[in-house]
C-alpha cells in the first residue's frame, strides 16, 4: 500500500497541509502588523526551506535518557517578497494582497480540517460497528 493511501499517510498529509496554511497566515499577519513600519519589506512563507529544515533533522539534544526525542520547535520560514512596489517610506506591504493570502490560507486549512474530521468519523464508525 502506498504511503499516501494509508491512514497514517493521509493524516500526515492533512497535518502537513494544515501546518503550511497556518504558516502562510502567520507570515501575512506579521506583514499586516508592520504595514505602517517605515522600511519594512513584505515577507512570504518559504515552504521549500521549511521542508528542508524538517527533513534535515533539526533534532533536540537529549540531556536525560528519560526525555523524548523530537524536532526543535520553529516558526514559519519566510523570505522577502519580490516585485512589490514600495511606498515613499520604503514599506511595500499591500493590505489587499495580505488579506487575500490569509483568506486563501484559511480556506486551505478549513478543507484539510474537514477531511481530517471525516477521517476520524470513519474510524469512530468502524470502532463502534465492531462492538
Q: pLDDT at position 103, please?
A: 96
Backbone angles phi, psi at 79, to 5 degrees: -140, 160
Domain boundaries defined on the chain: 3-129
Q: Report pLDDT digits (tens) over 31-62.
A: 999 999 999 999 999 876 555 555 444 455 55
Q: Are 105 and 24 in contact (CB under 8 A)?
A: yes
Q: Residues 50-86, buried b or exposed e (16+ Cβ, 10 A)?
A: beeeeeeeeeeeeeeeeeeeeeeeeebbbeebeeeee
Q: pLDDT at position 90, please?
A: 95
Q: Are 113 and 18 in contact (CB under 8 A)?
A: yes
* 3-state SS assignment for residue 78: strand
Q: What is the pTM of this model?
A: 0.70
For the chain, which residues score pLDDT lower than 50?
1, 55-58, 72-73
Q: Are 105 and 17 in contact (CB under 8 A)?
A: no
Q: pLDDT at position 126, please?
A: 86
CB-count burial class (<10 Å; 0-12, 13-18, 19+) for 42: buried
Q: pLDDT at position 71, please?
A: 52
Q: pLDDT at position 52, please?
A: 52
Amino acid at each position: 500500500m502506498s504511503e499516501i493511501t494509508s491512514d497514517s499517510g493521509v493524516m500526515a498529509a492533512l497535518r502537513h497541509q494544515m501546518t503550511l496554511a497556518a504558516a502562510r497566515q502567520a507570515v501575512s499577519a506579521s506583514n499586516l502588523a508592520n504595514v505602517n513600519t517605515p522600511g519594512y519589506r513584505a515577507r512570504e512563507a518559504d515552504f521549500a526551506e521549511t521542508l528542508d529544515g524538517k527533513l534535515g533533522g533539526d533534532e533536540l539534544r537529549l540531556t536525560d535518557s528519560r526525555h523524548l526525542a523530537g524536532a526543535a520547535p520553529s516558526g514559519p520560514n519566510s523570505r522577502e517578497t519580490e516585485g512589490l512596489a514600495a511606498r515613499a517610506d520604503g514599506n511595500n506591504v499591500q493590505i489587499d494582497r495580505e488579506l487575500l493570502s490569509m483568506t486563501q490560507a484559511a480556506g486551505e486549512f478549513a478543507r484539510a480540517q474537514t477531511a481530517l474530521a471525516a477521517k476520524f468519523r470513519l474510524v469512530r464508525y468502524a470502532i463502534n460497528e465492531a462492538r
